[in-house]
A and B are shown apart, each in its own frame.
Chain A
């Protein structure tokens, strides 16, 4: 009896061994290959899908560079997912790391949904788009430059950034230019050449309308490439030379680390002032991005396979994409809330558009619009729009999700 008690006590004291989960055992799986800027969206949306009774799904995902994802989806035959996968179970807290499953699918699993966090046309090494693949534009992703909290810098212009990332140690900046202290590639933290964060900056810092000599390529973009956004955050926050330090991030990564980093306002080519993505530093409204005062952004793109008739090959994969686009409202929660909560901007909340990476902006009037809904639901947000309901119609505009939207 005593021996049994000792054994029981020892067993109770030992840490629980992590349970091994085979991916094949997950209920209603949809397999995705996404950019790491979109992981928070997939974790947040996935938690709602896993707990849904209306349309339960398990999102099984792997993060990779956007252009790698496009190339995998466009390959003929398409490349399959053979690596260890992450998945989002019911009851999952999106603020935590997602669990992994053993990829026990013989030969790997088809990519149901592939994602690019920049214009697919920027992925110049990807194969041509096959006819049996659909690509749709999704929410808008902002990119930003950050410095340590210990830095005195508050803004950077396109001309400065061109010199910093184009010439590095030889950019001519230094003690004589205290407003532009970035002159050491060891303290310039960038991303690898397949990542949307780097490619968006590559396009945005190339001189518009100029020749190839003034056009960045990933190879010409100097700095220290970091494999993950979290590595950029770590290196920037712990830098031994804060004034010289600068890093590239998706804006949502900065939003998640607002006290550890300082975001730089950015002044693009032809602009007279520098602006943050948001109306002020610390806000989450992406006002300047949405109205065109902050130009460093790209749409996300979502790719799925089609059958011989041109219909979605996997209806569940199409369902997930429609949720992300806000076109599908049959879940228990509004999926646009997930999009908004992770720092993405639905296209329906934009007032400007562009058609190519780093290209010129144009006025955009989406129909239907969702600016009121967006502004009311960002963290700390509020909307000045009139509210409405079935019994309280709008005096002008269209009643949608409780607000009188312009269109």
Chain B
């Protein structure tokens, strides 16, 4: 049970802030602290985008309406 709680806390910490984007969740001076599962040694493009950094960032989780039933973005018109 304790292990499950610890895992839950760690998972939440890795989620960043919730939908609230009005106040920027700025990055902290320590590399990677506050960043969701940042990549220490980036290799791929996605790794690079999510590499550990001490730069400021904004955490945003927008609600996208009009998604397809499978959750995908609709085709352009």
Contacts and interface: CB of A to CB of B under 8 A. Distances in A.
Interface in A120-174: 152, 154-157, 159-160, 162-163, 166-167, 171-173
Contact of B49 (A173, A211, A271): A271
Interface residues of B, number: 37
15 contacts: A154-B58, A155-B58, A163-B65, A167-B66, A167-B76, A176-B65, A177-B62, A214-B73, A270-B50, A271-B49, A273-B57, A274-B57, A274-B59, A275-B56, A280-B55
A214 B46 CA distance: 20
A162 B73 contact: yes
Interface in B42-77: 42-46, 48-51, 53-60, 62-66, 73-77
Given A179-B63, A267-B60, A272 B50 contact: yes
Interface of B: 16, 19, 21-22, 24, 26-27, 35-37, 42-46, 48-51, 53-60, 62-66, 73-77
A265 interface: yes
Interface stretch (A68-76, A289-297, A382-390): A289-297
B60 A272 contact: no
A172 B11 CA distance: 31
A363 B76 contact: no
Interface string A393-404: 000000000000
A18 interface: no
Contacts of A295: 49
B66 A265 contact: no
Contact of B76 (A159, A213, A275, A279): A213
Contact of A363 (B43, B55, B56): B43
Interface in A88-141: none
A207 interface: yes
A272 B42 contact: no
A213 B74 CA distance: 9
Classify the interface of chain A: helix, strand, loop or mixed: loop
Nearest to A153: B21
A276 interface: yes
A280 to B, nearest CB: 4
Given A154-B24, A273-B58, A293 B45 contact: no
A376 interface: no
Interface string A319-352: 0000000000000000000000000000000001
Given A173-B65, A265-B57, A163 B73 contact: yes
Contact of B63 (A171, A177, A220, A276): A177
A212 B24 CA distance: 35
A279 B54 CA distance: 8
Nearest to A208: B45
B34 to A, nearest CB: 9
Contacts of B74: 167
Contacts of B37: 272
B36 A220 contact: no
B49 A270 contact: yes
Contact of A361 (B27, B45, B66): B45
A29 to B, nearest CB: 43
Which of the listed residues A214, A220, A268, A292 has the most CB atoms from chain B within 10 Å of its own CB?
Answer: A292
Which of the listed residues B27, B42, B58, B63 has the most CB atoms from chain A within 10 Å of its own CB?
Answer: B58
Interface in A177-227: 177, 179-180, 207, 211, 213-216, 220
A373 B3 CA distance: 49
Contacts of A275: 55-58
Nearest to A220: B76
A387 B29 CA distance: 24
A156 B24 CA distance: 12
B55 A279 contact: yes
A292 B42 contact: yes
A346 B72 CA distance: 38
A220 B77 contact: yes
A174 to B, nearest CB: 9
Contacts of A157: 60, 62
Given A152-B22, A155-B21, A292 B51 contact: yes
A234 interface: no
